[in-house]
Amino acid sequence: MERLIEKLQYPNVREVSIKNGFWPAIIKKTAEITLQDVWTKYEKDNSKQNFLNVINRTSPDHFNGNPWQDGMIYEIICGASDLFSSFEDKILETKIDEFIEIIKKAQDTIGDGYINTFTQSRMPDRRFGQNGGFIVIQHDLYNAGCLFEAGVHNYLATGKKALLSVAVGMANYICSEIGYPPKKNIVSGHPMVEQATVQLYRLFKENPLLAHELNAKTDEYLELARFWVDYRGVHEGRASFPHNLREYCQDHRPLREQKEAVGHAVRAALLYYGLAKVANETDDSELFSASEALWKNVTETKMHVNGGIGAVAYEEQFSYQYDLRPNAYLETCAGVALAFWAAEMHRAYGKSSFFDVFERVLSNNVLASVSEDGKKYAYVNPLINDGNSGRWDWHPCACCPPMFLKMIGSLKTYIFSYTDSDLYVNLYIDSSLFNDKYDVDFENGKMRFNKIPQRGCAVHFRVPDYADDFAVSVNGNRVGHTVTEGYATPCVELSANDVVEISFNENILIEEAHPYARENIYGFQPISGVSIRKGPFVYCAEGVDNGNNLDFIISKDSELVIDSDDTITGNTVDGKTFKLIPYFRWNNRGNSPMKVWLGYEGKTACVNLAGWEGLLYRTWKKARSVE
């Protein structure tokens, strides 16, 4: 893939204001309901006591939660901070500030910057899996990554420095211990810290006075992140136990040599996200090549139609290529990580295909993981369900809700990306962007330029993979446009106060899977059914709407009708009516059978490889539809 000459930037969370529509409503519900629910439930899990035990220098027999419990608190703070930029909540913000004070006291109790309450409480002499520890379980570096990210986001969203100061203390300590020889060869058991350390680096690179104030070792942070990329798979001299984290942790060979996504899907996607970030900061062509190869492997052979990754429940891992079993695991955290990775790849390449994946993941795998009332959650997001399982109120390992908060909290920062002379519109969410470069309003497909760079600006509108009849107008007049890497650019020079309007149709698409796709690991039957999509939303059939009969065959002569509630109705081959709902809305009316891949009259398994280059799913036909 050809990279951009100048890498794209994303705006600060305080530089984007959201307006009306579907996603702003989701963000609002997340801020006002889900965030409150998650914070309250983590309080009930008594996570705070872990930090108090460190402060009081006690080593209780019981640790509250899992070894990654610190990281979950940091992730909630990260998501909450971003959400506060749109929806103020002084009561919860005060609670979080008070918790941050406790975190700071726990760090100061030790005095060297290190903080990880599980290790400090249970095995204080075994930091980072040393001296008989177990790095896969301890999560010292994972929790540190969550801390770094939370510190950055909390500062950018609120201007507060307390948590960022804690992050700097831990980062400086790690820099003194881990890195290129003669420092210790230790890599994370659960990736997160790689990309988060780059976030620290970027913040302080852009704010040198802040770096000086907090004693941040800016350049050392990038060197540390690069070390973690370079020494993945390098086991000689490894200071932690186990020395070889194997494929489960993507440590089976050097990362520059890895071409296929293997092992635990969440760990993998977070590691690849970090790989892309380090590549963007270092311009290392080998790292870009590795990231490209892994991206193609995941999105062209292992990503399910709802954007989920990680087909196998055992160790939450990737399967072989084209194993698109409907009952796949598809953990929410893996989907969030994939979306973040996509956004980072976009910075280097400026291709719309990255946001096609981002939007597919967000609209289906991620959004389906939380109930419509905002208070029930899911690890797994399968494409078929027998009606005996659904979302849970809470879970002993509730890692997915904090990741959901991070995704939705930061969503508005991905609407736009830009350089000094190019503005990209990636997501069609009504919003405004205001910073030292741009002042634009985007609403109902219309963008008004209140300010543009003095040397001129080209605006690029993403043409989604589901869009038909894409058109561009300027000040009410239809104009020509060029399409480069999936972005449409008006063929006119823009000035301040110009209004650019884009429009396109979202037809109902009937999609098929790649000929190599197999329904399950045992049967080896090609997928001969279809999935239904409108815009970014995949649809499914639920038993509650269809008399618990989901084995119906859609009639080839049936019109598909879009109803006012965004459901789709049509006819089966035996003349009965069926009903489909957006996949993200499944399991909101009690447990009921659910199915995404459906039978369609005349559709047989695709066996011809022609036209499948670079595709895992494609439109088999456009539905005859009525709105």
Considering the domain boundaries, does residue 528 fall inside one? yes
Asked whether residue 560 falls in the same domain as residue 491, the answer is: no
Q: CA-CA distance, 277 to 255, in Å (whole number)?
A: 14
Q: The domain spanning residue 483 has which CATH number? A: 2.60.40
Do 515 and 609 lie in one domain? The reply is yes
343 in any annotated domain: no
Q: What are the φ/ψ torsions at residue 449 (nearest 5 degrees)?
A: -95, 105
For residues 540 and 476, membership in a common domain is answered with: no
Residue range 474-509, pLDDT digits in tens: 999 999 999 999 999 999 988 888 999 999 999 999
The predicted structure's pLDDT at residue 523: 41
Domain boundary among 479, 506, 533: 506
**Residue 102 pLDDT:** 98
533 and 434 in a common domain = no
Radius of gyration of the chain (CA): 24
pLDDT at 493: 85
Does residue 563 lie within any of the structural domains? Answer: yes
Asked if the structure places residue 494 within a domain, the reply is yes
The pLDDT value recorded for residue 457 is: 82
512 shares a domain with 502: no
Hey, which residues does 508 pair with through a beta bridge? 534
The residue among 449, 476, 506 that closes a domain is 506
pLDDT at 623 over 90: no
Asked if 576 and 529 touch (Cβ cutoff 8 Å), the reply is: no
Res 524: pLDDT: 44
Q: How confident is the model at residue 1 (pLDDT cuts 50, 70, 90)?
A: confident
Q: Are 496 and 453 members of one domain?
A: yes
Per the domain annotation, does 581 fall within a domain? Answer: yes
Question: In terms of residues, how long is the chain?
Answer: 627
Domain residues for the domain of 611 are: 508-626
Question: What are the CA-CA distances from residue 492 to residues 34, 350, 463, 474, 576 (Å)?
Answer: 44, 21, 18, 8, 52
Q: Is the pLDDT of residue 340 over 70?
A: yes
Count CB atoms within 10 A of the CB of residue 611. 8
Lowest mean pLDDT among 201-215, 498-512, 602-616: 602-616
Q: Is the pLDDT of residue 550 over 90?
A: yes
Same domain, 538 and 446: no
pLDDT of residue 428: 98
- Residue 128 contacts residue 186 (beta carbons within 8 Å): yes
> Is residue 152 included in any domain, yes or no?
no
Confidence of residue 589 (pLDDT cuts 50, 70, 90): very high
Beta-strand (E) ranges in 514-597? Answer: 531-534, 537-542, 553-554, 560-562, 568-571, 577-582, 594-595
Same-domain check for residues 609 and 514: yes
How far, in Å, are 48, 77, 144, 161 from residue 101 at the CA level?
A: 11, 13, 17, 11
Is 199 inside a domain boundary?
A: no
Q: Does the structure show a pLDDT above 90 at 517?
A: no
pTM over 0.85: yes
Is 471 inside any structural domain? yes
What is the tally of structural domains in the chain?
A: 2
Looking at the fold, whether 597 and 513 belong to one and the same domain comes out as yes
Do both 501 and 512 map to the same domain?
no
Give pLDDT tens digits for 30-89: 999 999 999 999 999 999 999 999 999 987 888 999 999 999 999 999 999 999 999 999
Q: Are residues 476 and 452 in the same domain?
A: yes
Q: For residue 519, what pLDDT is reported?
A: 58
